[in-house]
Structure 1
Amino acid sequence: MDFAVPLAESTALLADQHQLVAINDALIEQYLGEDWAFVYRNREYLFWGLIVTIALTLTSILLGFLAGFPAGVIETYGSGYVHSFVRKFGVLLRGTPILVIMLFTYFALPLEPVYNAVQAGVNAFEVVLGPTPFTGPDVPDAFIAATIALGFRSAAYQSQIFRGALQSIDDGQMEAARSIGMSRLEAIRHVIMPQALRRSVPGFQNEFTIVLKDTSIAFAIGLGELLRRSQDLFLQQTTAVLEVIIFISLIYFVLTFTTNRMLDALSTHFAIPGESS
């Protein structure tokens, strides 16, 4: 088989791409200035920061849901020491600045067992899909710490979203479910919970946006997310501080705007018939 022609085509395509990048760089520098051209040349570096930001948002909001929904159920229907612990722990998390929580998580909590488990998962993920932004000895522990901090802080707020949604369901529905032979747990699972989850979407939408923006606080523990990589850039070229900040602000705006539109559509789709969305 003759590989000469495909290899020549690949080389030519790569050369054309480099030429196009050089032309774009020159045009941006001509019309917008050297600082914007500097941002353009480092777009791939910022892109990987964007990937870390999105991944951190998703893992944190998922952890927040997995911890927050049961907490909301316990606060609504629980009693005794478990109810008291969940309520007080939620108050503590909501009353503590997220930066303090993140620093405590990173420097004080024993993360080694969690780190080993997550590292095994990341390695398996990379075997299947290739390298990820989390490859390296120093990044995963910061990512794990940030996920735990943002996730449990989000859980404290999500628990209140779900508690309000659960309490908004009329008590008569619980009584009707019990009257047809359902246990209390079955009534919550099959009757109350589906309606509460639908009603909680607007509050969850707001919490998702907050977590997305709060990922920038992971900058404080050295995680290479969007804000941290932006600082790396404007330390290289101090005249480009404003341009870099404007650029990442636009990225955050696009992320939040897109997320809100998607969750608006989700809220409309899952809205309970007969209720205003």
Structure 2
Amino acid sequence: MIYQAIWENLPYLAEGAAVTIALAVALLAIGLVVGTGLGLAQSYGGRLAWALATLVERVLRAIPAVVLLFLFYYGISSVYDISSFTAAAIALGLRSAAYQSQIVRGAIASVPPGQMAAARAIGLKQRTAIWNVVLPQAARQAIGPWTNEALSELKDTSLAYTIGVVELMRQADYIVSANYGHTLAVYSAAAAVYLVLSLAATWGLSRLDRRLRVPGFAH
């Protein structure tokens, strides 16, 4: 009976998993763009740019994810019509940006200073040297730490449940309500889906890390 209920509701779990994946990709993309900007400002910006980037990073890291979700959904929706998915992507994406900025900053610091000096010596401007010399090497170094952030954010997508995003956890909750029970079995099935997604992401990013590893760099 329990297994039958799970089998019959697998399509709904699959729908929830698809939303979870889409949300994770969206928030990680937002986090990568904003986090890279913050990391660059902290690494190469002037005193004012460093101070502003650091302030933004510390504030975003200090506010709990659920509070950010409520601020962006219930706060913004009072003046602008925003979907729960969009609010979740922005809120969790900005929170991820705070952590990704430190990954970027650390990866940039791992690139030997001589790389920048050599680029400037052949006449490249600082901006061009950062974009064409430093960042490509830093990006490769960042894949390992970024994998941990990606897995963390994949699991944190479950928090979007609190503002009505119909992701994996909310689908599981619907299934429990519709079947009047089987709570342990249904949530165990949802946990198994998270496990599969995490293992798949770890495998894919580990292969990418090995493929793009910079020869001679300590890992």
Identify the residue that residue 264 of structure 1 maps to in structure 2. Answer: 206
Identify the residue that residue 241 of structure 1 maps to in structure 2. Answer: 183
Q: Which moved more, 1:76-85 or 1:217-226?
A: 76-85
- Deviation of 1:275 (Å): 2.8
1:97 aligns with 2:64: yes
Q: Stretches of 4+ moved more than 3 A in 1?
A: 110-115
Letter in 1 for 2:54: R
Contact 1:111–1:145 (CA<8 Å) still a contact in 2?
no
- Deviation of 1:113 (Å): 6.5
- Deviation of 1:82 (Å): 2.6
* TM value normalised by structure 2: 0.95
Letter in 1 for 2:4: A
Identify the residue that residue 144 of structure 1 maps to in structure 2. Answer: 86
- Deviation of 1:195 (Å): 0.6
1:251 aligns with 2:196: no
Match of 2:170 among 208, 228, 231: 228
Letter in 2 for 1:151: G
* TM value normalised by structure 1: 0.76
Match of 2:52 among 85, 109, 119: 85
CA deviations 1:210-241 (Å, max 9, x no partner) are 11000000000011000011111112223300
Instruction: State the distance in 2 between where 1:172 and 1:68 align.
Output: 25
Identify the residue that residue 39 of structure 1 maps to in structure 2. Answer: 6
Label 1:51 to 1:143 Cα distance change in 2 as closer, same or farther (>3 A).
same
Letter in 2 for 1:87: T
Taking the TM superposition and a 5 Å limit, the aligned residue runs for 1:158-237 are 158-237=100-179
Instruction: State the distance in 2 between where 1:167 and 1:42 align.
Output: 49
Q: Which runs of 5+ in 1 are unaligned?
A: 1-33, 116-140
- Deviation of 1:94 (Å): 0.8
After superposition, the CA RMSD in angstroms is 1.5
Instruction: State the distance in 1 between where 2:146 and 2:81 align.
Output: 27
Instruction: State the distance in 1 between where 2:148 and 2:196 align.
Output: 15
Letter in 2 for 1:35: I
Instruction: State the distance in 1 between where 2:49 and 2:218 align.
Output: 35
Q: Which runs of 5+ in 2 are unaligned?
A: none
Letter in 2 for 1:262: G
1:50 aligns with 2:17: yes
Instruction: Determine helix, strand or coil for the equivalent of 1:177.
Output: helix
Contact 1:35–1:239 (CA<8 Å) still a contact in 2?
no
Percent identical among aligned pairs is 35
